[in-house]
Structure 1
Amino acid sequence: MSLAQANKNLKFDKRLTERNVTVGEMSKEELQKHLESLPDLAHNVEKFTIDGKNASSSSDESH
């Protein structure tokens, strides 16, 4: 893979988007359009507590 292709693949990488907007590699509007096109995956999250126990099974304490 060429460096140009690698940079293209990283254009919307969360760690680089602010830099890309700042240096003019993409507009804020282009970024916003991309973010709005992403699917909502909120139903795929798994809640947990700091102690590492699954929040949905907190009533299953066997200790």
Structure 2
Amino acid sequence: MQNLSPRHVKTEESLRLGVVSGWYSTKVSGTFVSGPHDSEADCLRRIDEINPPVVKARPGVRR
């Protein structure tokens, strides 16, 4: 499981990095994983698709 977070890349930085400005999901190291996304909400949805939230089992329930 990767620890991904949303990051907004503004126009000035996008020119320096050679990417389109927008929202990107990034690793802790700063590596872009997906994007650009139109909004932070879109980026967070993509992060949830890549890294589904962990569902903890309820005590006493077996799978």
More helix by share: 1
Say whether the fold is shared (TM-score over 0.5). no
TM-score normalised by length of structure 2: 0.23
Larger radius of gyration: 1
Larger relative contact order (CA 8 Å, sep ≥ 6): 2
More strand by share: 2
